[in-house]
Amino acid sequence: MSQLYLCFSHRHEVLRTVEKQVESGLVLVQQYRGVMAMIQQNYTRRTATNRFYISIGSGLLVFLTYAVNPSVEFEIQSGAATMVAVIGLVLCLVWGLQIRALRGLIDIQIKLAGEMEQELPFKFFHRQKESLDLPGGWLKYGVVEQGLPLLMALPYLLILAVVLFYK
């Protein structure tokens, strides 16, 4: 019986501690830190995604330099160039979709963090948005990044056009 009382007493003490933390805002601060960590993790994921697709795309173009060689038959060169162009274009499409998805996820997380920070003394995301909306404000993060897959697709489009023209 005394063990049951101690268990109930301990549980009651834990609940009072949690209630005090909620009242003092400690839980909100911990949740806010967690959201900030998730946002940072997704920015890191976007950077890693860009590096991955740039590496693969560059590797395809390097492969093409070996395949398009005067000692290789024209049909093989043409087939390799078509394959590289199609794979490269698909790669750029998937890359663009992935950037868009990650950017949307980060936008949602920032919006939620902005709602959380209404209870905090300093409203960082609100101030950042105000600064970005000013004339001459910094480019919105990700605008340049969205153009990378399009820029990387240009050589593949050119390769495909040349292959189709010379067939």
Closest CA to 152 of 84, 83, 88, 94: 88
- Give the domain ranges of the chain: 26-166
Give pTM, 2 decimals. Answer: 0.72
User: What confidence tens digit (pLDDT) does each residue in 94-151 have?
Assistant: 999 999 998 888 888 888 888 888 887 777 777 777 777 766 555 565 667 788 899 9
pLDDT tens column, 22-78? 565 677 778 888 888 888 898 899 889 999 999 999 999 999 888 888 888 888 888
